[in-house]
Structures are given as structure tokens and as C-alpha cells.
Amino acid sequence: MLAWVDAMQSVAERVAALDWAGIGAALDQRGCATTGPLLTEAECDALVQGYDAGEAFRSRVVMARHGYGKGEYKYYAYPLPTLVGGLRTALYPGLAEVANRWAAALGLGAGFPSDHAAFLARCHAAGQPRPTPLLLRYGPATTTACTRTCMATCISPCRPHSCSAAPTPTLPAASSC
């Protein structure tokens, strides 16, 4: 049990060490930002190996059926894998800060609490009780169309995605909700 606690502290420390001012500036300028590696190769491998574990997921989407491209992804079910839950909780405050700054600039007022647990409570109260982190499976002929999603009245401040530079059949993605 201690090993996963140490791993989660390490992920939280890695996220805390990010250049959040630089990330915010990149998001402001380009609408996207990169962080560099946040997960170790072993952590990525563990997520990839879990893709075929049916009990970890609540649904599977075959992208071609919906015109999203070629490939598939699965939404995680609760309880989330420790790594996925810890990563989204660690990323949330920095992303919420950027999203709130954007909301204020657009005249929308404060939109996101600084605490991830408070945000999840708001999502659940709004009728969105299911988690939205997902894991993508890509193959040699995979394509992805740009999509815009709004799953409920409670939306994520930003959708962080995790990618691997090395060819891999499965890439993890995360979401704040």
C-alpha cells in the first residue's frame, strides 16, 4: 500500500513543480500548452495494461460509429485508478485558476472552485455523477476528429490530455470531472 501512496505524492509533486505561469501564458496565447512528462514509463505502462480490464471502465466508445475518427476509448468507472484520480486532482487547481481568469475576462464571473472535491460535488449535484477520465486506444490506422463536448451543465475548466511520444497502442487521457 505504501508504494502507491509514494507514487501519488510523486505525481502531486511533479504537478506542483510545473511552471503554471508559463502554462497559463501558453493557454492564453495558443489555447493549448504542454507540460513535459508527468508520468513515468512504468506508470504509463500500468495504465496501458489496464485497458483490457473491463471492471475499471463504465463505457466504451468506438469512434467510427460517431464520426470521431478510427479507434476507441473507454471512460473509467468509479473508483478511479489511484494514478488517474491523483493526477486529475493535482492538475485541477492550476487549470481552474486559468479557467476562472478566462471566465472573468469573458464577463462570466467566477466559475470554478479552487478545490477539486468541491468541483466534483457541484458536478454530482448538477446530475453528473459519473467520472469523465478516459483512456484512448490507438493503432496504426487511427485518426481522431476534433470534437467539442459538453456533457452536462457542469463542465470541466480544461481537458488535460496525456500523450506518449513513443508509439503505443493505448494513450491515457484525463479530464477534471
Model confidence pLDDT, tens digit, residues 57-97: 999 888 778 776 777 889 999 999 999 999 999 999 999 99
59: DSSP letter: E
Supply angle C-alpha 16, 19, 21, rounded to 5: 115
Residue 172 has pLDDT above 50, yes or no: no
Partnered with residue 161 across adjacent β-strands are 173
DSSP-based three-state secondary structure for 108: coil
Residue 73 has, within 13 A of its CA and on its CB side, a CA count of: 20
Supply angle C-alpha 46, 51, 55, rounded to 5: 105
pTM of the predicted protein model: 0.77
103-128 pLDDT, tens per residue? 888 888 768 999 999 999 998 998 98
Look at residue 156 in the predicted model and tell me its pLDDT.
60
Supply angle C-alpha 99, 100, 103, rounded to 5: 90
Whole-angstrom distance, CA of residue 155 vs CA of residue 19: 25
Look at residue 170 in the predicted model and tell me its pLDDT.
44
Residue 55 has pLDDT above 90, yes or no: no
